Amino acid sequence: MTEQTTYTPEDIEKNKTMAGLSYLLFFLPLITCPESGYAKFHANQALILLIVGIAGNVILGIIPVIGWMLMPVFGIGVLILGIMGLVNGFGGKAKRLPLIGKFDILK
């Protein structure tokens, strides 16, 4: 799925760093460049990834043995998605994360 909204080259070039850093602290672009649609897009993707990561760890932590064995695999999956988002943010691409990126929390 591709992002329907197009962002201006100026917005992308000016806010690439904040978009990439949003995967480390999702709220950083919301504070430093709230007018940037590109940075806000990546902040939204990072927030979704954070929510999925926390919820998945809680759910897998509750399930005895099988959940505990699946937790490292889930963690690696979340790490891979985070790296993909980081690369897209720094690279100037507005690609949604696979599996979880279709939701919009931040408007």
17-68 pLDDT, tens digit per residue, is 999 999 999 999 999 999 999 999 999 999 999 999 999 999 999 999 999 9
Task: Compute how many other C-beta atoms are within 10 angstroms of the C-beta atom of residue 28.
Answer: 20
Q: Within a domain: residue 99?
A: no
Number of domains in the chain: 1
Cα–Cα distance measured from residue 81 to residue 88, given in angstroms and rounded to the nearest whole number: 11
Residue at 46 is within a domain: yes
Q: Is 104 a domain residue?
A: no
Domain that holds residue 50: 11-91
Do the domain assignments include residue 102?
Answer: no
pTM exceeding the 0.75 threshold for the entire prediction: yes
Does residue 96 fall inside a structural domain?
no
Question: How far is residue 67's CA from residue 50's CA, in Å, rounded to a whole number?
Answer: 19
pLDDT of 106 over the 90 cut: no
Residue 3 lies in a domain: no
* Mean pLDDT over the full length of the chain: 92
Instruction: Flag whether 107 is in a domain.
Output: no
**Does 31 map to a domain?**
yes
